[in-house]
Chain A
């Protein structure tokens, strides 16, 4: 674990990015996003206020992004979880409103780090299952819109005609569907949203 994620964000001039944007994006999608389920579980376990978990997750991503702009960490997993750990410690220390018990058994961090990464094929299979579950769990209209648009390949106008609604409403259903699919693909399958 050679990388030390730091919380001193203001010192990291984002304009001095040494890593190109496509490279950073590829790394983020390949290495960081697949950790989202485990990361969400970690945050949920260590933070009392369930409503803040999505915001915390986003903040971990932001810190990881900003650090990786300078240099892509050698190993994503310990880097991401150490960043999450530091974020929680920060929030507790700096925020008097949060009672100290909010941050629970942080020593579980080590357990997370030692877990071997799942086999690639298992991830892929798991993803399809998640995608299907996610599609099934969408509100019927959002599900219908996603399938017409993405699986049948209809234009948005055609989807609107088929569903007898305006294109604007189609867009709204697609947006709901897209966000739910992202949560299902990357997030904790047992999660609330």
Chain B
């Protein structure tokens, strides 16, 4: 090594320039709304040029992700807190208090945000598949927010809003846990669906087994072991389990194919389903019509097909005022 003393090392790569370039890529990717395949290959090429580019990209991307998380924490809960009847299930009150604290910037509320947490969210009408390194796959339905902490020691996700279908790579040593408003779903080798309604939680098991309970004192202490075909519904006060047919379960998962499947479904419920996927909302203004039942399959975004049925099959009046669609007799 001694003769190297005569050598002068080249200057180190300029960190400031690399950081500026990395942040341009990140902002373009995450905020422009039209990130193309070509943009992606530009980024890939830039990252392949040097590890300095990779670490700068990771560092800034994680920073951006973290600022996202602050908003993701406060948004889903505040919308849940504003229920029409002004009441909130007990476990949601805790969650809402937590969210308010986070929104106000109270340091205590920040505990849940570990560096390894990641937030995934879909917009109204969105549908996304997230694959994890352990082989687990999570499918997010419309208007959904999910946080994941997938580390070597822990596999926990929080369904803060919406609905998701889980295909879990079972690992007895590292159980996969879904937290929803103080309740806990623990995978025992399986495929299952978890959905947050405004007033209740629903867990449906397609394969394997899950344990459904409430680990903390502020929710009820009921525990259920769910088997394939079981659909559990929990409110703040109660939990019930019913057996559903294979077909009914398949209908529940219609959204994975972009379809809504109705069977003996009231128009009110069908409209509510459509409204989850579309920003122009359907309102059934007539209480009698609201109880008509329908059996049909629609693409989640085909509101028009639904209103056509209302018009032609049920002879109802359909008015589209640009902001919402009002159905009456």
Tell me, yes or no, whether A171 is within 8 Å of chain B by CB: yes
**A29 contact from B27, B62, B64, Cβ within 8 A:** B62
Q: A26-B151, A29-B62, A61-B55 are in contact. Are A175 and B20 (CB under 8 A)?
A: yes
Would A131 and B23 count as touching, CB distance under 8 A?
A: no
Q: A29-B58, A33-B62, A151-B71 are in contact. Are A171 and B15 (CB under 8 A)?
A: no
Output the nearest chain A residue to B55 by Cβ-Cβ distance.
A61
In whole angstroms, how far apart are the Cα atoms of A146 and B116 in the complex?
Answer: 22
Contact with B along A157-188 (1 / 0, CB 8 A): 10000000000000100110011011001100
Tell me, yes or no, whether B177 is within 8 Å of chain A by CB: no
Output the nearest chain B residue to A60 by Cβ-Cβ distance.
B55
Q: A20-B133, A65-B51, A171-B24 are in contact. Are A33 and B33 (CB under 8 A)?
A: no
By secondary structure, the A interface counts as helix
Would A179 and B111 count as touching, CB distance under 8 A?
A: no
Tell me, yes or no, whether A23 is within 8 Å of chain B by CB: yes
In whole angstroms, how far apart are the Cα atoms of A58 and B19 in the complex?
Answer: 10
Q: A58-B55, A66-B51, A95-B8 are in contact. Are A171 and B31 (CB under 8 A)?
A: yes
Q: How large is the interface on B (under 10, 10 to 19, 20 to 34, 35 or more residues)?
A: 35 or more
Q: Which residues of the other chain, B, contact A28 by a CB distance below 8 angstroms?
A: 55, 58
Would A124 and B114 count as touching, CB distance under 8 A?
A: yes
Would B52 and A62 count as touching, CB distance under 8 A?
A: yes
Would B58 and A156 count as touching, CB distance under 8 A?
A: no
Tell me, yes or no, whether B14 is within 8 Å of chain A by CB: yes
**A58 contact from B9, B12, B33, Cβ within 8 A:** B12
Q: Which residues of the other chain, B, contact A155 by a CB distance below 8 angstroms?
A: 31, 33
**B23 contact from A58, A91, A129, A178, Cβ within 8 A:** A178
A64 to chain B, nearest CB (A): 8
Tell me, yes or no, whether B287 is within 8 Å of chain A by CB: no
Q: A58-B13, A121-B111, A174-B27 are in contact. Are A150 and B116 (CB under 8 A)?
A: no
Q: Most B CB atoms within 10 A — which of A52, A54, A95, A150?
A: A150
Output the nearest chain B residue to A175 by Cβ-Cβ distance.
B23
User: What is the number of residues of chain A that contact chain B, defined by CB distance less than 8 Å?
Assistant: 57
Output the nearest chain B residue to A132 by Cβ-Cβ distance.
B105
Would A94 and B9 count as touching, CB distance under 8 A?
A: yes
Q: A28-B58, A58-B13, A150-B70 are in contact. Are A175 and B31 (CB under 8 A)?
A: no
Q: Which residues of the other chain, A, contact B26 by a CB distance below 8 angstroms?
A: 178
Would A149 and B110 count as touching, CB distance under 8 A?
A: no
Q: Which residues of the other chain, A, contact B62 by a CB distance below 8 angstroms?
A: 29, 33
**A54 contact from B4, B15, B58, Cβ within 8 A:** B15
Tell me, yes or no, whether B66 is within 8 Å of chain A by CB: yes
A152 to chain B, nearest CB (A): 8
Q: Which residues of the other chain, B, contact A66 by a CB distance below 8 angstroms?
A: 51
Q: A151-B70, A155-B33 are in contact. Are A128 and B105 (CB under 8 A)?
A: yes
Would A171 and B59 count as touching, CB distance under 8 A?
A: no
Output the nearest chain A residue to B133 by Cβ-Cβ distance.
A22
Q: Which residues of the other chain, B, contact A57 by a CB distance below 8 angstroms?
A: 15
B18-68 residues with Cβ-Cβ distance < 8 A to A are: 18-20, 23-24, 26-28, 31-33, 50-52, 54-56, 58-60, 62-64, 66-68
In whole angstroms, how far apart are the Cα atoms of A14 and B49 in the complex?
Answer: 12
In whole angstroms, how far apart are the Cα atoms of A14 and B5 in the complex?
Answer: 27
A54 to chain B, nearest CB (A): 4
Tell me, yes or no, whether B107 is within 8 Å of chain A by CB: yes
Known contacts A156-B32, A181-B67; 7 additional CB pairs below 8 A are A58-B55, A62-B51, A65-B51, A93-B5, A178-B23, A182-B59, A186-B63
